[in-house]
């Protein structure tokens, strides 16, 4: 069953099996939480193998084959996946060791060796190293006396996330490196790649076209255009779900605008434009190479409560008023899209909020979903919104989450169907007012 079906239930028609957004491990089941509690208790009693067995059960995602292990005598050998990287390790009564092969070096170039040496200073638990076969590895080990489950969780998360991020980046920059292991999982069809690539180019070209029109003047209103560009970066991250170079560019775009330096907003907007231009200039084949499905064990984004999302909405939505008043619909729509994208790029929001944000993108980016083969009944071919279908989808999300959130209510009567801009504004403001308190 696809992530789409797991989140929203099977639809009237078969939907493509596509995955959206960054993986999150924030929605642990009750059984997983109980396994972690047992792991802590067993470790305190000195039952190391029982502790590690329950710890691995805590990490296992019930929806995907992300981790496996086997026992031999007084040792547990395990392997798990983080994106495109396989991570292996073992635990016994004396030691825990975890490692992942990132790339293979045919020539020990000073450039990447220095890069990894510098990178080691930023790592708290793990380290980059060379094995006897000149594989670049990232490694963590510890004595079991100091191998408590909390420490293992932080260390393995750090190792896995950095291994997954660095492999594509190093291979792209240093041509003397080659993959340490051939990827055997995650191929997607050329048709899906084509849809994502065309959407990427189309959306970037349209955004740069808005800048070139100069109405309003980007030099006078750089913040307004920043919303448009950042919303685009977050939207591409969620819908295209890139790996490697493109993912790094999108993260750099965010860093450029929020960097605390002496650059003016005008300069930052132009620097962001240059980053988007790099994506347009990149060969199509390079994008296709980095488009594949992954399975993960650790989420990059921290779980947050609804109060964090409320603060984000309250802080950003007032900036939508001026472009609405001036009839700059593209710039006005960028504000709620920025909010939705920012929340999914940076956080793991509560489950019903995540599902409502996904629905928001299905409604506002219906063309992308339809080109990918999804049945999207929320608007017609002219873009007119379908009130009854949108209301039905919202109520379905409410019903599926009310057992955990008994006060959950999204009032469709408050939605403004006058235009896409007014609908988006009302949708995000209603989402802000959700009551996600749990039953006492």
Q: Could you report the per-residue pLDDT of 238-260, keeping only the tens digit for each? A: 999 988 789 889 999 999 999 88
142 in Cβ contact with 95 (< 8 Å): yes
Closest CA to 78 of 63, 94, 59: 59
Indicate whether 387 pLDDT > 50.
Answer: yes
Which is higher by pLDDT, 364 or 440?
A: 364
Q: Could you report the per-residue pLDDT of 327-372, keeping only the tens digit for each? A: 999 999 999 999 999 999 999 999 999 999 999 999 999 999 999 9
Bridge partners of 94?
Answer: none
Dihedral through CA 292, CA 350, CA 414, CA 234, nearest 10?
-40
Residue 5 pLDDT class (50, 70, 90 cuts) = very low
Q: What local confidence, expressed as pLDDT, does residue 110 receive? A: 79
Q: What local confidence, expressed as pLDDT, does residue 39 receive? A: 97
Q: What local confidence, expressed as pLDDT, does residue 440 receive? A: 64
Segment holding 425, helix H or strand E: helix 420-432
- Under CATH, what is the fold of the domain 28-83+85-178? Yope Regulator; Chain: A, (3.30.1460)
Quick check: helix, strand or coil at residue 181? coil
Q: What φ, ψ does residue 271 adopt, rounded to 5°?
A: -70, -35
Domain ranges of the chain: 28-83+85-178, 190-432
Residue 154 pLDDT class (50, 70, 90 cuts) = very high
Parallel, antiparallel, or unpaired: how do β-strands 135-143 and 85-92 relate?
unpaired
> How far, in Å, CA of 349 to CA of 29, rounded?
16
Q: What local confidence, expressed as pLDDT, does residue 175 receive? A: 74
Indicate whether 158 pLDDT > 50.
Answer: yes
Residue 139 class from Cβ within 10 Å (0-12 exposed, 13-18 middle, 19+ buried)? middle
Bridge partners of 67?
Answer: 80
Indicate whether 100 pLDDT > 90.
Answer: yes
Span 405-428, average pLDDT: 96
> How far, in Å, CA of 368 to CA of 61, rounded?
29
396-428: buried (b, 16+ CB within 10 Å) or exposed (e) per residue?
A: ebbebbeeebeebebebeebeeeebbbbbbbbb
């Amino acid at each position: 069953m696809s992530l789409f079906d797991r989140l929203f239930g099977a639809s009237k028609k078969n939907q493509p099996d596509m995955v959206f957004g960054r993986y999150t491990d924030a929605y642990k089941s009750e059984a997983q939480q109980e396994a972690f509690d047992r792991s802590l208790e067993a470790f305190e009693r000195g039952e190391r193998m029982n502790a590690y067995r329950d710890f691995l059960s805590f990490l296992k995602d019930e929806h995907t084959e992300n981790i496996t292990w086997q026992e031999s005598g007084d040792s547990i050998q395990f392997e798990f996946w983080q994106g495109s990287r396989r991570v292996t390790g073992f635990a016994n009564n004396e030691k825990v060791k975890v490692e992942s092969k990132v790339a293979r070096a045919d020539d020990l170039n000073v450039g990447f060796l220095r890069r990894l040496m510098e990178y080691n200073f930023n790592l708290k638990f793990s380290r980059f190293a060379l094995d006897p076969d000149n594989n670049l590895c990232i490694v963590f080990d510890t004595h079991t006396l100091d191998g408590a489950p909390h420490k293992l969780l932080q260390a393995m998360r750090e190792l896995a996330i950095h291994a997954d991020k660095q492999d594509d980046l190093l291979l792209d920059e240093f041509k003397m490196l080659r993959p340490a292991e051939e990827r055997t999982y995650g191929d997607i069809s050329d048709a899906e790649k084509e849809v994502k690539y065309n959407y990427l180019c189309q959306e970037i070209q349209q955004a740069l076209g808005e800048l070139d029109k100069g109405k309003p003047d980007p030099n006078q209103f750089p913040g307004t255009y920043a919303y448009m560009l950042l919303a685009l970066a977050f939207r591409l991250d969620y819908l295209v779900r890139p790996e490697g170079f493109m993912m790094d560019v999108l993260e750099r775009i965010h860093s450029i605008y929020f960097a605390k330096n002496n650059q003016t907003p005008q300069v930052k907007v132009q620097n962001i434009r240059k980053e988007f231009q790099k994506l347009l200039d990149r060969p199509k084949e390079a994008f296709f190479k980095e488009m594949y499905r992954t399975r993960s064990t650790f989420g990059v984004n921290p779980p947050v409560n609804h109060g964090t999302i409320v603060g984000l909405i309250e802080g950003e939505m007032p900036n939508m008023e001026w472009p609405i008043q001036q009839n700059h619909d593209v710039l006005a729509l960028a504000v709620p899209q920025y909010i939705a994208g920012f929340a999914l790029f940076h956080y793991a929001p509560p489950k019903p909020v995540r599902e409502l944000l996904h629905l928001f993108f299905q409604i506002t980016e219906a063309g992308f979903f339809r080109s990918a083969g999804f049945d999207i009944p929320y608007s017609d071919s002219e873009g007119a919104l379908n009130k009854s279908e949108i209301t039905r989808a919202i109520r379905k999300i409410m019903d599926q989450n009310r057992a955990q959130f008994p006060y959950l209510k999204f009032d469709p009567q408050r939605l403004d169907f006058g235009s896409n801009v007014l609908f988006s504004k009302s949708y995000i403001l209603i989402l802000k007012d959700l009551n996600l308190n749990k039953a006492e």
